[in-house]
Amino acid sequence: MAIIPWKTLDSRYLIRDPWMVLRADRCETERGVTVDPFYVQEPPDWVQIVAFDRDDRILLVQQYRHGAGVVSRELPCGKIEAGEDPAEAARRELLEETGCVAQTLLPLPALSPNLTSLANTLYAFVALNTECVEEQHLDATEEIEFGFATIPEVLALIEGGGFLQALHVAYLFLALQKRGLYGVSPVARDSGESAG
């Protein structure tokens, strides 16, 4: 039996400002169950960049994230402006946050940040031969430090809990896979045979 999408019977916006767009939908399932309200956030589409320099070091930024109350290591990222091409947004965010440019951008698959409650798309790119060419251009609320780290250093940060942005980790591994810098090894399986 095919899964049937819910019907949206009504929709109203509760918040519409530059920082948050939140709507409440009244929905009905195929079985006639009413779900009211179902909250959906409508953030702008986002972009993030896995930037490598000529030595295959990865560019990391560090900044304060108020939602979690932590200073976070992560990838350069930001929102896509209305009408902006995702690749151009990636180049703009990379330059604004770090003063760096990349010789080549390679797209990664577009993903959803959260299919349940977020109605936006996340775009990501692998940036190759990245180098710093000018000063940062930060917003008034931004304080960003940045630097390049080796692949083992970045993997150690993830393993040790020093790199917490889950979507960034996902794209980091997709970028390493795309570049052939991180292979998938078969998982050792118990053959079911006992020694003896």
What is the residue-level pLDDT of the chain in tens, covering all 196 positions? 799 999 999 999 999 998 899 999 999 999 999 999 999 999 999 999 999 999 999 999 999 999 999 999 999 999 999 999 999 999 999 999 999 999 999 999 999 999 999 999 999 999 999 999 999 999 999 999 999 999 999 999 999 999 999 999 999 999 999 999 976 554 554 544 444 4
Contact 42, 18 (CB under 8 A): no
Hey, which CATH number is domain 46-179, 3.40.50.800, 3.90.79.10, 3.40.1190.10, 3.40.80.10? Answer: 3.90.79.10
Measured CA to CA, the distance from residue 40 to residue 118 in angstroms comes to 6
pLDDT of amino acid 1: 78
Dump the DSSP string for 103-150.
SEEEE---B-S-TTTB---EEEEEEES-EE-S-----TT---EEEEE-
| Residue 135, number of CB atoms within 10 A of its CB | 8
pTM here? Answer: 0.89
pLDDT of amino acid 50: 98
List the chain domain ranges: 7-41, 46-179
pLDDT of amino acid 175: 97
Q: φ and ψ at 175, to 5 degrees?
A: -65, -45
pLDDT of amino acid 184: 55
pLDDT of amino acid 196: 42
